[in-house]
């Protein structure tokens, strides 16, 4: 069974990406990566909260 993807849009550059993609590549060295409510845009590096639904574009099974 595959987990649902949470796609977000960076408020800085508009890049759309899966939160898990960000966590692997942009947040890889952070010790808070599992329990953090923030993501870091893999394109521009801006950090923003995932708790705001304004950033969410879609949740789709995948």
Task: Report the chain's C-alpha Rg in angstroms.
Answer: 11
Average pLDDT of the chain to the nearest whole number = 76
Per the CB < 8 A criterion, the answer to whether 57 and 9 are in contact is yes
- In this predicted structure, the answer to whether residue 33 has a pLDDT above a threshold of 90 is no
Give me the pLDDT at residue 10, please. 95
Check: pTM over 0.75? Answer yes or no: no
When divided into structural domains, the chain yields a total of 1
Residue linked to tokens 């649902």: 4
Distance between CA atoms of residues 56 and 44, nearest Å = 18
């Amino acid at each position: 069974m595959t987990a649902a993807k949470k796609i977000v849009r960076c408020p800085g550059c508009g890049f759309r990406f899966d939160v898990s993609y960000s966590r692997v590549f942009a947040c890889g060295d952070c010790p808070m990566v599992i329990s953090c409510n923030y993501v870091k845009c893999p394109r521009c590096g801006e950090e923003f909260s995932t708790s705001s639904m304004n950033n969410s574009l879609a949740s789709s099974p995948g």
